[in-house]
Amino acid sequence: ELKVEQNPLFLSMQEGKNYTIYCNYSTTSDRLYWYRQDPGKSLESLFVLLSNGAVKQEGRLMASLDTKARLSTLHITAAVHDLSATYFCAVDTPTQNTDKLIFGTGTRLQVFP
């Protein structure tokens, strides 16, 4: 059974600092997603990573994928308060009958001045 683990679970960081969130998954998958969730809100798609070595960047966030290591990272550069949210990685399971996503436990990020 596919399992997805994120670390850290909680991250409190100062504005202007850099940090990386890690996402490990247990079996082969075709694609990996990163989502952001604000309190009481739904999931906002940040990145879709489709192949080994894929790297995508949007503003202060950069995501990468290493399918051989079954590892994805979400790197935060020069954090700002607006990045405070919970971040989830999710891996899809495209079998014959389903495209369901398996989500990680989430990383709750708090950025303080």
Partner 1 sequence: GAGVSQSPRYKVAKRGQDVALRCDPISGHVSLFWYQQALGQGPEFLTYFQNEAQLDKSGLPSDRFFAERPEGSVSTLKIQRTQQEDSAVYLCASSDQRNTEAFFGQGTRLTVV
Residues in the chain: 113
Q: Is 18 or 26 the residue whose CB approaches partner 1 more closely?
A: 26
CB 8 within 8 A of CB 69: no
Report if residue 19 touches partner 1, rule: CB under 8 A: no
Residue 30 lies near partner 1 (rule: CB under 8 A) = yes
Q: Is 81 in the site for partner 1 (CB under 8 A)?
A: no
Taking the CA atoms of residue 109, residue 82, residue 37 and residue 63 in that order, the dihedral angle to the nearest 10 degrees is -70
Task: Give the residues lining the site for partner 1 (CB under 8 A).
Answer: 30-31, 33, 41-43, 45, 48, 88, 90, 92, 94, 97-106
